[in-house]
Amino acid sequence: MSEQKVPAFADSDAEDLFNRIIQAVPDAMKNMVKPMLIGMAEQKAGGGPITVDAIKEMVEGLPEPQKSAFKQVVSAKKGLDPETIKVMLQECGGDISALFFKIMGSMKYIPPGAVREIAKQTGIPEAHLFHLVTTGRAFSLFLPEQQVTVCAGTGCAVKDKAKSIEAIERLVNESGPEKVNLKKVRCLGCCDSGPSAEVNGKKVALNALQSQLETFLKG
């Protein structure tokens, strides 16, 4: 399948930017739009690896309203240059986990480049920072196309007689976290109606989710 082709990016910044642009595309159109944008960006890059400049040029060449929508994403990128990180660090009073929550809030993920920049600015070892980011389920180092959250507490595991949660886990494990990222949380809301599930923050029924994922991953 051509759309499964992994594009070559010049650096992590270019990849970050591209992923965030894809995130701005409505869910239903992602599969169609993504290969088109990859093709256009590759063209602008002249056949070499895709650079940030090539992506910006590609956005300029798009028709409205996509152009302004994506341009917003491009300018939002400025949110994480070294200067902004410095300001954010000050705002958080040097509290690293508060900083990570802040970045998570504005970007929905933590770009690995930003973690390295924080390490540079604070002198805290990179390994330590990556450890903080990967402890617990609050942070993510990439922006998945679909963020799936399911209840995986004991009560819900007992109630899930059809073993849907396990089936969903198996499905997702085959896809890789960039496509579908599965977050197992211990309680999502009302235990009485559990197990509950969310896709990109919207509540869905567990059995509906299973078939939705099957279509998304295999269709």
Partner 1 sequence: MKIKDTKEIEVMAIGGLKRLKPDGVRFTVGSAVCGLSKGAKETRDVLTAEIAKAGLNAEIVAVGCNGLCFAEPVVEVIAPGMPKVTYGPVTSEKVPELVKAVKAGQVLKGIALFKAGQEQLLSGAPVQYGGSADLIDSAEFTPLKGQVRIVMRNAGLIDPLSIEEYAATGGFAALAKALAEKNPSKVIKEVETSGLRGRGGAGFPTGLKWKTAKEASAPRKYVVVNCSEGDPEVGMHRALIESDPLSVIEGMMICAFAIGASEGYIYISDKLTAAEEKVRVLIGRLSESGLLGEKIMGTDFSFTITVKRSTGAYISGEETALLNALEGEMTEPRPRPPFPARKGLFGMPTVVNNVETLMNIPAIFLKGGAWYAGYGVEGSSGTKVLAITGDCERTMTIEVPFGTKIKDVISMAGGVKGKKALKGFQIGGPGGGILPAKKSSLPLDYQKLWKEKTMLASGLVLMDEDTDMVNMARFFIRFFEEESCGKCVPCREGSHRVGEVLDNIIRGTGAKGDLDYLLSLEEPISDTSACALGKLLLAPVSSTIRNFPEDYTKKIGG
**Which residues of the shown chain bind partner 1 in the complex (CB under 8 A)?**
95-98, 101, 128, 131-132, 135-139, 152-159, 161, 184-194, 196, 203
Residue 149 sits at φ, ψ, to 5 deg, of: -120, 130
State which residue, 39 or 155, has the beta carbon closest to partner 1.
Answer: 155
Residues 6 or more apart whose Cβ sits within 8 Å of residue 121: 82, 85, 86, 89
| 5-12: long-range pairs with CB below 8 Å, 24+ | 5/35, 5/38, 7/38, 7/41, 7/42, 7/50, 8/48, 8/49, 8/50, 9/49, 9/50, 9/51, 10/45, 10/48, 10/49, 10/50, 10/51, 10/52, 11/51, 11/52, 12/111, 12/112, 12/113
Kindly state the smallest distance separating residue 172's Cβ from partner 1, in Å. Answer: 14
State which residue, 55 or 129, has the beta carbon closest to partner 1.
Answer: 129
CA dihedral 86, 91, 97, 103 (to 10 degrees): -70
Kindly state the smallest distance separating residue 76's Cβ from partner 1, in Å. Answer: 23
State which residue, 119 or 157, has the beta carbon closest to partner 1.
Answer: 157
State which residue, 93 or 219, has the beta carbon closest to partner 1.
Answer: 93
Kindly state the smallest distance separating residue 95's Cβ from partner 1, in Å. Answer: 7
Kindly state the smallest distance separating residue 27's Cβ from partner 1, in Å. Answer: 23
State which residue, 77 or 194, has the beta carbon closest to partner 1.
Answer: 194
Residue from 54, 51, 43 nearest 14 by CA: 51
Q: Which residue has the tokens 């085959």?
A: 174
State which residue, 33 or 191, has the beta carbon closest to partner 1.
Answer: 191
Kindly state the smallest distance separating residue 179's Cβ from partner 1, in Å. Answer: 20
Cα–Cα distance, 130 to 140 (Å, whole number): 10
Kindly state the smallest distance separating residue 74's Cβ from partner 1, in Å. Answer: 29
